[in-house]
Amino acid sequence: MVGVFGRSLSFPNKNPSRPRISHHIRSISLPCRSHPLVSQIKDDINQLVSWTSTSKLHQQTTTNLCHGLNRLAELHDTLEDIFQLPHAQESLRRQPRWVENLLQDLLRFIDVYGRFQSSVLAFKEEQSAAQVAVKKRDDSKVILYVKAEKKMAREMEKLVSGIRCVSQNYGVTPTTLVPIGDAEVAGVIVDVIRVTASVSIALFGGIASSLASRKLSWGQLVKLSRSGGSERTEQEGVKELRVESLHSLRKRGDEEVRSALKRMRDLESSLSLIETVSDGVFRALINSQVALLNTRTQ
């Protein structure tokens, strides 16, 4: 059997209404009475669907984004437990082709989050060098950082495109719905993939919008520094990851340079926090895939 990462998070147990499914799965079955884990994961899914809907109405923040990522990791923890139920394993073994496609899609999520970790690491190195350049008012080296921002934004956009390709496989409503006893587990698995895509797009799309958005002027930068970043602006993306203009440093005063450095440190801190929380999602995705893979060997 393949090993998995350790974990300890869980959600309270509730029982909302059954989500619809997006694939015609005929043999995935549990007893007529839902297993508590199935009821739990339905509640987890509904909470994340609500989170994604609410996030679209307001500007994203690092705290809220990390909250959604934590919930996503917990969701996959529950999915891993469902994959270990004897009845679920038996049913999944009767659907080898569907399981193979699901394994591939989970692998795509894992690959995307792995690439995200690598991109963040490279960008943080560029930012550390840029902070030294800002202190020295070295415009030539700051230009390299501006290029790194644009590169990071493009990479995030590519990750969004990859996630959307996966989600499109789960967006078709079947013309013939199978009975609830056969479709319940299949339905929640499909909904987990859908909501994983939604949260991931919020993450990568938010970072892309932040780094590619209109630069803050020096006046806005000083104002944000004095207000602690609490004032609302029309910037898109994640509030703490908005980039500021770093051009013509030699012409700027000491206060403006200090403000720029503060914003850069804040951005680095927020990005590090997101990186840490997203690593929890990365590990939970691996555990989900390993648990599913083990259904074929047990």
In a domain, 183, yes or no: no
- How many Cα atoms within 13 Å fall on the side-chain side of residue 75? 27
Lowest mean per-residue pLDDT among 66-70, 87-91, 126-130, 174-178: 174-178
- Angle between helix 254-294 and helix 96-136 axes, rounded to 10 deg: 160
DSSP for residue 239: G
C-alpha 237 chain-centroid distance: 14
In a domain, 177, yes or no: no
Mean pLDDT of 162-169: 88
pLDDT in tens, 202-233: 999 999 988 875 454 444 444 444 444 434 33
Q: Which amino acid is at 76?
A: H
- Is the pLDDT at 118 greater than 80? The verdict is yes
pTM (2 decimals)?
0.77
Residues 10 and 82 sit within 8 Å (Cβ to Cβ)? no
Q: pLDDT band at residue 244, thresholds of 50, 70 and 90? A: low
In a domain, 157, yes or no: yes
- Is the pLDDT at 115 greater than 70? The verdict is yes
Residue 106 makes CB contacts below 8 A (sequence gap 6+) with: 285, 288, 289, 292
At 231 the pLDDT is: 40
Lowest mean per-residue pLDDT among 12-21, 32-41, 141-150, 156-165: 12-21
In a domain, 24, yes or no: no
In a domain, 120, yes or no: yes
- The more confident residue out of 272 and 256 is 272
Query: How many domains is the chain built from?
Result: 1
DSSP for residue 33: S
In a domain, 182, yes or no: no
In a domain, 2, yes or no: no
- The more confident residue out of 44 and 21 is 44
Number of other CB atoms surrounding residue 148 within 10 Å? 19
- Is the pLDDT at 275 greater than 70? The verdict is yes
Tell me the pLDDT of the chain averaged across its residues: 78
In a domain, 206, yes or no: yes
Range of the domain at 133: 36-171+189-294
